[in-house]
Chain A
């Protein structure tokens, strides 16, 4: 018996939202730990850039973080739009996809600017 594609898609979206949430907890904690560490002895743009400029590892870390945030945020917004607005499923998906794309572009651009752009 072949499952309807809409059902498979809905289960996949649910799965990816949960998976991205689980992964993000690790990223959030690492990010918070980094902030606490970086705060010691004041906080300046120069100091931050010194740490991140040319550092591919931080670039990768925050790059993946941005991807997860965009995915998780878009999936969550889609569900909120479906429940709280009168938009149809297709319109909700398009709106969520657009917001996800904006988050992705802005986020990756920022990551690029503080890491590899100055290398």
Chain B
């Protein structure tokens, strides 16, 4: 019998300073990159650190760089990304590495808060539900961006985040854009201010890496373009900013 083919997997070990460690993992049909990491952690080296939860592309916790490209690993088939017998796994870029494949995502989530990513309404529980037409342009613009799972693949893929660490990044700005289009929200002025300027939407070069890499096929680039237009309109009309 022919021995099962194996995959040579290089995994980043350590934090900011570290090295790649090589493991041989048997290939299986329909194997995902997350399956590979889990195999290594369970069979070869239990000290390997990585994150996952749902395994079905909902939670956004298993993202890492696979052969240099940020991906959600639970829905990434090895056959799709490893053309040869080699696979190189690294933690996401643009965030501090805690250990191995786990990064500290605090700044990523803090920036969603800085971009006023929270909904704030006026009506209470007892009041009737706001009627928003599903066909309205604002509702459709919000719809286009609300399926974000917070995996930070876009944040890791964004060159501007790498160059300007204070840049809010695609996910936070995309989130803000969905709320700018939420007519029930009452902190629109503050939000436009929070997303304008050099740490905000105006630092974006519209290169589109976020849109190219988003596993949910969202278009943060379009959301950011919307924010740019809206903030300039606000400036020209004398509103904040």
A→B interface (CB under 8 Å): 1-4, 6-8, 10-15, 79, 82-84, 89
- Which applies to chain A's interface (DSSP): helix, strand, loop or mixed? helix
Distance of A1 Cα from B189 Cα, bound (Å): 8
B68 to chain A: closest CB distance in Å?
21
Task: Please tell me if the beta carbons of B232 and A7 are within 8 angstroms of each other in the complex.
Answer: no
Q: How far is the CB of B37 from chain A (nearest CB, A)?
A: 33
B-chain residues with CB within 8 Å of residue A1 when the two chains form the complex: 189-190, 193, 240
Find out whether the CB atom of A84 lies under 8 angstroms from the CB atom of B240.
Answer: no
| B174-209 near A? 1/0 per residue, CB < 8 Å | 000000000000000110010011100011000000
Residues of B within 8 A of A (CB): 160, 163-164, 189-190, 193, 196-198, 202-203, 228, 231-232, 235, 240-241
In the complex, the answer to whether B164 meets A83 with C-beta atoms within 8 Å is: yes
Contact A14 B240 (CB under 8 A): no
Q: Which of B163, B190, B202, B203 has the most CB of A within 10 A?
A: B202
Residue of B nearest to A15 (CB): B232
How distant is the Cα of A4 from the Cα of B193 in the complex, in angstroms?
A: 8
Contact yes or no, B197 A15, CB < 8 A? no
What separation, in Å, do the CA atoms of A10 and B199 have in the docked complex? 10
Beyond A14-B228, A82-B164, A84-B163, is A8–B235 a contact (Cβ under 8 Å)?
A: yes
| Chain A positions within 8 Å of B240 at CB level | 1-3
Q: A1-B193, A3-B193, A3-B241 are in contact. Are A11 and B163 (CB under 8 A)?
A: no
Residues of A within 8 A of B189 (CB): 1
* Alpha-carbon separation in the docked complex, A96 to B177 (Å): 32
Is the pair B202, A14 in contact by a Cβ cutoff of 8 Å? yes
Looking at the complex, which one of B163, B193, B202 makes contact with A83 (CB distance below 8 Å)?
A: B163
9 A-B pairs closest in CB distance: A3-B241, A83-B163, A10-B197, A7-B197, A14-B202, A10-B198, A3-B240, A7-B241, A11-B235
| Sample of 13 more A-B contacts, CB < 8 Å, known A1-B190, A11-B241 | A3-B193, A3-B240, A4-B197, A6-B197, A7-B241, A8-B235, A10-B202, A11-B232, A13-B202, A14-B228, A15-B232, A15-B235, A83-B164
Q: 28 interchain pairs (CB within 8 A)?
A: A1-B189, A2-B240, A3-B193, A3-B240, A3-B241, A4-B193, A4-B241, A6-B197, A6-B198, A7-B196, A7-B197, A8-B235, A8-B241, A10-B196, A10-B197, A11-B202, A11-B232, A11-B241, A12-B235, A13-B202, A14-B202, A14-B228, A14-B232, A15-B232, A79-B203, A82-B163, A83-B160, A83-B163
Distance from A97 Cβ to chain B, minimum over Cβ atoms (Å): 16
The answer for the CA separation of A4 and B190 in the assembled complex, in Å, is: 11
What CA separation (Å) do A84 and B203 show in the bound complex? Answer: 13
Chain B residues whose C-beta falls within 8 Å of the C-beta of A10 in the assembled complex:
196-198, 202
A11 to B164, CA, bound (A): 17
Q: Which residues does chain A contribute within 8 Å of B203, judged by CB atoms? A: 79
Q: Residues of A contacting B160 with CB < 8 Å? A: 83
